[in-house]
Amino acid sequence: MNEESDPYCLDPGESARLLAGHPWRRFVVLGDSVAAGLCEPVEGYSDLQWADRIATELRAVQPELAYLNLGVSGLRTREILSTQLEPALLFGPDLALVVGGGNDAFPATYDADRVDRELTLMVTTLQDSGADVMTLGMFDISYSPAVADWLRPGLRQRMRTLSDRTAILADKLGTIHVHLTDHPLSTDPTLYSTDGRHGNARSDAVATAETLRVLGKWLKAPTAGH
């Protein structure tokens, strides 16, 4: 299988149809390694990571799109908030992607309430500045074959909690929410990298397709905030 034949990836011309006439000109990304991109290669799939692929597809429709990715691997939400929110605001985005909580949820010390508060502050501050904000329910890394068996049950529960609470937050705040946790491939061990903490190039290709479909649906919604 390759990206062109993968039923979960974009069809030829699909991106252009989904994003036709989109209004965005300044796209900023805040987050951890999911935002920064650690795209382990998979034969037949693009090596371009998820957020960069979103920017590329947005730019294909609006060539003047400016793009800033502030993502740094390993950060928890409090560190994303303290180091990335200010430069994101200075960039003056009209579209922002906020990804966080995965590094918080990996250990048993996960504090869901604190992560919620920090994500909420980032989202609402960006919205108040005039940006449409995207949020993410991540693929469930507990299905990675590189995760130790003893770690799986607790990690799976924490990743589900993070996903569920981020979805509730997204609904409350009116973000453009991309929910990957229940994707049919989320439980497929071949979707994950050998480090046991990230997806691979197929994961990024599938995530891109889902993201653009969510954006396309949002653009067509009569209540969209654009």
**Residue ranges of domains in the chain:** 22-220
Dihedrals phi, psi of 200, to nearest 5 degrees? -115, -165
Over the stretch 33-88, which tens digit does the pLDDT of each residue have? 999 988 789 999 999 999 999 999 999 999 999 999 999 999 999 999 999 999 99
How high does pLDDT run on average in the chain? 94
User: 211-220: per-residue pLDDT in tens?
Assistant: 999 999 999 9
Question: Sheet of 66-69: strands edge to edge?
Answer: 66-69, 26-31, 95-99, 132-137, 176-179
Task: Tell me what pLDDT residue 226 has.
Answer: 47
3-state secondary structure of 58: helix
Q: What is the CATH number of domain 22-220?
A: 3.40.50.1110
pTM over 0.75: yes
Q: Report the C-alpha gap between 145 and 190 in whole angstroms.
A: 8
